[in-house]
Structure 1
Amino acid sequence: MPIDAPVMPASHALAPRYWGAHLLMVVAVVACVLLGRWQLGVWHGHRADDAASVTREDPAALTDVLGPDAAFPTSAIGRPVTVLGRWDPAHTVYVANREHDGHTGVWAVTPVVTANGSAIPVVRGWSPEVGAAPAAPRGQAALVGLLQPSEETATTDRDTHDDVVPALDVTDLLPRAPYDLYSGYVVATDREVPGGAVASTGMSGLAAVAAEHLAGASASTALRNLLYAFQWWMFGAFAAFVWWRWVQEDVLGRRHSPDPSPGPG
């Protein structure tokens, strides 16, 4: 009859002769975790780049993408459009609580009245405070901007008589304006205006603002990198399991013995 190996106390696994195996396990698991995180980062990066690719398209005329009385289409989010018209500095507003490089300030927003008589709010840029923002431009406007949908907020504008608003909600701007407004707004860029028009972006003296809303990437974008991430984490979990079984059975002698089969009666 075979003699079972003695079961060792848990402290036996910490003997110096086993340190190499333990270190190997730690290195393997850490490597798998880091490789998985790297692949996850690549997945996020590819998806962000895919979502932002629309902002690098050739600009189209504003009226070709969004009609004055049309609802904002999802396909227009982030699209570069050419805005031509006349600045209306008298109806400039400032959107509060906007972040830029870790600082809170305001967006300077001035409408541009287009040839059809409707106006579109233009985010000219960011300023640390209203008083620090340069004066709104006058005269002709010509710029390439990124289309954005009207914002929604649960915050109520407590003072409709000042120039500060809690969000860039076109519906809230309508009572302030003497003309019809488009159903979205644009974020000004310093891109060259097609057709050779002299640019008048209103961005001078302000920090450039990035488009906050972009259409999401397709579900299949960089899917392989996401699967690789999970694969590496599974490898790490498997390595930890193999190490645990080795410690339990070979180092500590805690082998699981099957239940003896009942003998003949």
Structure 2
Amino acid sequence: MSHTSVPRHPFPTGTAEAGLAVLQEELQELIDGLEADSTDLGDTQRVALTLAQSHCLLDPRASIFPTWDAWVSAMQVGSAVFAAATTTEGHVQCRIAHKDRTLRATGAQWYVHPGTWLSAFYLAVVCREKDRITALCRVPLSLLRENGSRFGEYDYAWIDTLQTYWLGGQDLVTKLVTAVDATDPEAVDDPETVGKLLYPPMEMFHRFIRRDQDGFNKALANALQWHKQYWSDEEQAFQISGLVALAPLAMACIAHDAGIPIEVESEYVPAVLIKPNWCGEFPT
């Protein structure tokens, strides 16, 4: 397969610098308040991910340090959500934004669900944080079900697949098939979102475990085309969430590290994040 390019949908950049400054300030306040109220982790995770993606508006390759710094902070907050939710002690030490912070145990919370788990997992994969990925893969599905009423079976089946893959468990292919089958448009409430955003990384993963290099790159190109279609829709076009295709980016990182050449270029999957160039830049 020759190199393919999927350009990002048009997105206004006029107020980007000012927007980054506001987000940065909001995030810093949230992070500094976490030791006093660790249940703010849900809002902090949302803002941290928004800031990381916003950096890629003006730095689409993720080639400058502040972008990496923001991605690491988002990864640290995402992991902290689950460290605080699962700890059996009264508190847990988490490094966030260049400082060790003592967070209180939170147990299950409104924000502890499949969506935040997947974000945390994908971020840990992009940042190549093996210990954090392992910790996330030990989070029981039962905990994610406690507040995950608005999530579909495909979410749980997909998480089960990713946890099984990372921990080297049994029945990986069967679990992946279960996840893919659960995304059948006939079986889901929102076929548009499921078909364009949730199914494509499953197809990429399927190609990856089969070591199908061409198939993987085709699946990546398709995933980015669907991502673009979804986020180009009038209602979604100015949402920061559309700037980076987080799940396909994480799958591309896994494939890259396993020796599959990535032959698709796109602002949706920042090139410098696909290669672990930044890893080890500072203690995380």
The TM-score with structure 2 as length reference comes to: 0.20
Q: Which has the larger radius of gyration?
A: 1
Give the number of the structure whose residues are more often helix, by fraction. Answer: 2
Give the TM-score of the pair, scaled to structure 1: 0.21
Higher normalized contact order (CA 8 Å, seq sep 6+, divided by chain length): 1
Name the structure with the higher strand share: 1
